[in-house]
Amino acid sequence: MTPIAPPATPPSERQQTILAAALAVFSEKGIAAATIDDIRQRSAASVGSIYHHFGTKEGIAAALFAQGLDDYWARLIAATGAEARAERAIDALLEAHIGWIVAHPDLARFLFARRQAVSPEYEQAIRQRTAGHFKVLFELFKPWFRQGVLRRLPFELYGPLLLGPAQELSRLWLGGRAQADPRLSVKELSGAAWRSLASDATLAATLPQESP
Amino acid sequence: MTPIAPPATPPSERQQTILAAALAVFSEKGIAAATIDDIRQRSAASVGSIYHHFGTKEGIAAALFAQGLDDYWARLIAATGAEARAERAIDALLEAHIGWIVAHPDLARFLFARRQAVSPEYEQAIRQRTAGHFKVLFELFKPWFRQGVLRRLPFELYGPLLLGPAQELSRLWLGGRAQADPRLSVKELSGAAWRSLASDATLAATLPQESP
Amino acid sequence: MTPIAPPATPPSERQQTILAAALAVFSEKGIAAATIDDIRQRSAASVGSIYHHFGTKEGIAAALFAQGLDDYWARLIAATGAEARAERAIDALLEAHIGWIVAHPDLARFLFARRQAVSPEYEQAIRQRTAGHFKVLFELFKPWFRQGVLRRLPFELYGPLLLGPAQELSRLWLGGRAQADPRLSVKELSGAAWRSLASDATLAATLPQESP
Amino acid sequence: MTPIAPPATPPSERQQTILAAALAVFSEKGIAAATIDDIRQRSAASVGSIYHHFGTKEGIAAALFAQGLDDYWARLIAATGAEARAERAIDALLEAHIGWIVAHPDLARFLFARRQAVSPEYEQAIRQRTAGHFKVLFELFKPWFRQGVLRRLPFELYGPLLLGPAQELSRLWLGGRAQADPRLSVKELSGAAWRSLASDATLAATLPQESP
DNA sequence: GATGAATGAGCATTCATTCAT
DNA sequence: CATGAATGAATGCTCATTCAT
């Protein structure tokens, strides 16, 4: 129903070819600047065929989003859910985030360039889907809030504190403005997230002690 | 020389009118989707006049960038440079960042939606200009690195750790996905930045002590 | 490969319609002044269709050129090659030239208004193609040079001496500055060409003798 | 009154500068493609100034035409009128023609690219002026027609036979398609014109005699 | 006379989308 | 399902010309 719902039938080979071509083009020039003809050339499919399968340029973007977004969040949630301690969970979360981006740079570029989204319904659908995923993730953290391990904050701050630095670094890297493999920075990023979210008490207890 | 260099002559009233109209349109629909005709209608100038002054749609964007980017960084640097202690400087930095964004939401939306930038030279010019500003800011922090107050990290991480959470929150707010006034979160954001960058020793000394 | 190479596939009916319309317009106003919309109206095709088939306004001109130039030279060469004696060959050449122009005045107007050609590559391609055709024609004359029937001259002069007067008259006629059917002048024009090119000896032997 | 009449007042220095710039531009790109702005840049005059002096783009062309056309024909007529014998007159005519073109290639390119002429009145004026000049020239030849030295032909043929080859060669040279200095070909061109126009009897008497 | 900002009709070209074969 | 010709609204940009200063 929602524009970015996953398709009923699994994508045919032809569809996959088109999606791959579209992803490449979207990643290079952004959705708005991408042309059906660009996609046609890359995919060696005909215009007619593309329209037969996806109906609209946005339809292609939607299909890619459905595919990418769910995959990304699934990995995030799986990684986080596998850990029992907050600090480790945050480690795993960041590692999953960065790992996924490095594994799918084109898809990441496409997914995280929100601005491009064209129509409002489309934008709306993405937000809801993302919000839903985030809630699931958030549930995993609730026990630690209750235990006082993590600080209670305005809801809107969790995302930024947890993933903001990683997002910023990822953007640099995806845009070619940072060279080093971001996986090398996972420890720092998760460390920052941990310090930002841990309660003062937990944090004090965790910090390496200076010799007296 | 560079595509986003500030103009030789100060902008005339007409030019300011056009720029204001363009900013509104760009902020609403993004550069790519914005139409010269949109700008014409909003500015009540003729197409010819617009082209007479800016030469290209991108020329308008460039003029806005030159104006906005310098203003933003000037405020950041001024605020930071006024503080003597690292923790206070980071506070001031974040406050300036958020303050500027709240004061110029349209310009901010436009400035921070990097993806839109069209031509490579344009993109290139922005990067260099930004990098230059960042270096100036970075110089202000150097003493604290030397004193061991702040941690030494790979260069690429300073930006993300310092501004990543704030950027993420700003994006949410600018996109209408966060309602609360981001200025209310400055303390949290600067706190996070401080914890991320402070050396363990400094941090341990700063944390509120538990009663023994 | 060259911009005016004949197309791989034979022109469809729609393409022919567009070309005919374009020729009419080009002939009337020249390439530069001709409007895609002029062509659209005359051909009853849509802008999109025109661009689908020819890609550019110049693309249409190129297609016309490829068609016209080859046709013109083929006729010239065929007519000349069919004659065994120099004088008759020159007669046939001029007759073919004038005949073709009278048969295709629009195409001729278009073909011989070289100045219009816009882009350099285009101009270049036309020159090469023309030069090639001229070489073929020139080969047919070689035996007569060897036999001393025709005079040896700087290469650049053959064209002007052979076709210069005819070209000039054609231009007048095509431009409406000469009324009489140019076919009536073929004998004079070929006579002039003959006198210009024949060696003195041959010419003396050919001239009508005065009574002693 | 006519669009290409010579101006009442002699051109000021500023006007001359503009005309020179315009000629350069017209010669390079043709009248149609030339832009007022091109001329403005080359002449370092302002748009306003240009319009103040010439009123229209075509006004500039007209001024150049008036200047060039008269100069060209004056030279032709003077050279021809100075000769007493037909063959010498034709020699002188061709030499003047080629000489003028070599001396003013830009002006020649501009003058002889008739097709460019834009408005009908303009075209009309040029034709009349040219026809007038030609008539004057023709008068000079009349005695030789009466004496039977030159052949009587349809009026429209005199131009082509006399100047056709030279025009064709000039076009090649002006367009860079012929390298050799056309002045080297004057003898051949005038020879051709002479042979084309001389009566058979005269011609027979003139031809170098074969040894008996 | 000179200047250059302003005007707006006009134009080539692009591109998503449709549909007959 | 595939193909690609056809459509036409939309868009960035140009350019001759005007006119207030």
C12-59: pLDDT as tens digits: 888 999 999 999 999 988 888 899 999 999 999 999 999 999 999 999
Q: Tell me what the mean pLDDT of segment B70-98 comes to.
A: 96
The angle formed by the CA atoms of residues C83, C87 and C92, to the nearest 5 degrees, is 50
pLDDT at position C124 over 90 = no
Q: Angle, to 10 degrees, between the axis of helix A86-103 and the axis of helix A120-146?
A: 150
For residues D32 and B135, which has the higher predicted lDDT (pLDDT)?
A: B135
Closest approach of chain A CAs to the CA of B169, in angstroms? Answer: 6
- Mean pLDDT (whole number) for C124-147: 93
- Amino acid D13: pLDDT: 87
C106 reaches D (C-beta below 8 A): no
pLDDT tens-digit series, residues A142-167: 999 999 999 999 999 999 999 999 99
Q: Give the pLDDT confidence of C141-193 residue by residue, as tens digits.
A: 999 999 999 999 999 999 999 999 999 999 999 989 999 999 999 999 999 99
Is the pLDDT reported for residue A210 higher than 60? no
At D116, the pLDDT band (50, 70, 90 cuts) reads: low
Nearest to D178 among C118, C156, C178 (CB): C156
Over residues C136-142, the mean pLDDT reads 96
At residue C196, the pLDDT reads 95
The torsion angles phi and psi of C150, rounded to 5 degrees, stand at -110, 155
Structural contact between residues D183 and D136, judged by C-beta atoms closer than 8 angstroms: no
pLDDT at C121: 79
Q: Is it the case that residue B210 has pLDDT exceeding 70?
A: no
Name the average pLDDT for chain D. 90
Percentage with pLDDT > 90 across chain C: 71
pLDDT at residue D120, as a whole number: 76
Distance, in Å, from the CA atom of B77 to the CA atom of B138, rounded to the nearest integer, reads: 9
| Alpha helices per DSSP H over B12-154 | 13-33, 36-43, 47-54, 57-81, 86-103, 105-112, 120-146
pLDDT digits (tens, 9 = 90+) for D51-101: 999 999 999 999 998 889 999 999 999 999 999 999 999 999 999 999 999
Are A186 and A94 in contact by the 8 Å Cβ rule? The answer is yes
Average pLDDT, chain B: 90
Residue C211 has pLDDT above 70, yes or no: no
Which position has the higher pLDDT, A31 or D170? D170
C and B in touch (3+ CB pairs within 8 angstroms):
no
State the pLDDT confidence band at B160, using cuts at 50, 70 and 90.
very high
- The per-residue pLDDT for D112 is 86
Write down how long chain A is.
Answer: 212
A5 touches chain B (CB under 8 A): no
Structure confidence at residue D195 (pLDDT): 95
Residue D1 is predicted with a pLDDT of 41
Is residue C167 a contact partner of residue D155, using CB atoms and an 8 Å limit?
Answer: no
Tokens of A48: 């007619």
Instruction: Give the Cα separation of B10 and B15 in Å (integer).
Output: 9
Cα distances (Å, whole numbers) of residue B18 to A118, B7, B103, B106, C65: 25, 15, 20, 15, 46
Distance from residue C68's CA to nucleotide F6's C1', rounded to whole Å? 27
CB contact under 8 A, A33 and B33: no
Task: Dump pLDDT digits (tens) for A126-142.
Answer: 888 899 999 999 999 99
Residue C76 has a pLDDT of 97
Take residue D30 and report the two structure tokens written for it: 């043709």
Residue A208's pLDDT is: 67
Is A178 touching B (CB cutoff 8 A)?
A: yes
Higher pLDDT, C75 or B207: C75
Q: Per mean pLDDT, which range of A12-16, A41-45, A150-154, B166-170 is the poorest?
A: A12-16
Nearest partner of C111 among C96, C126, C92, C95, judged by Cα: C126
Q: What is the pLDDT of residue A1?
A: 41
Q: Which residue has the tokens 């406050």?
A: B95
* A contacts of B161 (beta carbons < 8 Å): 165, 188, 192
Helix (H, G, I), strand (E, B) or coil at D150: strand
pLDDT of residue B3: 63
Q: What is the mean pLDDT of residues A194-207?
A: 88
**Do B207 and A200 make contact, defined as CB atoms within 8 angstroms?**
yes
pLDDT at C212 (0 to 100): 44
Category of B2 on φ-ψ map: left (φ > 0), alpha (ψ -120 to 50) or beta? beta
Which range has the worst mean pLDDT, B123-132, D111-120, D186-195? Answer: D111-120
Confidence of residue A120 (pLDDT cuts 50, 70, 90): confident
> pLDDT-based confidence at A5, cuts 50/70/90?
low
> Is 70 exceeded by the pLDDT of residue B117?
no
Return the bridge partners of A198, or none: A150
Question: pLDDT value at position A28?
Answer: 87
- pLDDT tens across B26-59, in order? 998 888 889 999 999 999 999 999 999 999 999 9
Chain-wide mean pLDDT for chain A?
A: 89
Top-confidence residue, A58 or D91: D91
Q: What confidence score (pLDDT) does residue D211 get?
A: 45
Size of interface A-B (CB pairs under 8 A): 130
**Chains C+D touching (3+ CB pairs under 8 Å):** yes
Asked if D188 is an interface residue toward chain C (Cβ–Cβ < 8 A), one would say yes
Percent of chain A whose predicted confidence (pLDDT) is above 70 = 91
Asked if the Cβ of residue C35 lies within 7 A of any atom of strand E, the reply is: yes
Q: Which residues pair with A55 in a beta bridge?
A: none
Percentage of chain B lying above the pLDDT 70 cut: 91
The helix/strand/coil state of C5 is coil
With 90 as the cut, is the pLDDT of residue A88 above it?
yes
Q: What is the least distance, in Å, from the CA of B8 to any CA of chain A?
A: 30
> Chains touching chain D at 3 or more Cβ pairs under 8 angstroms?
C
The region of weakest confidence among B155-164, C120-129, D102-111 is C120-129
D167 in contact with chain C, both atoms CB, cutoff 8 A? yes
Hits for CB < 7 Å against strand E across C residues 43-102: 47-48, 51-52, 55-58
Please list the residues that pair with B150 across neighbouring strands.
Answer: B198
Predicted TM-score (pTM) of the model is: 0.87
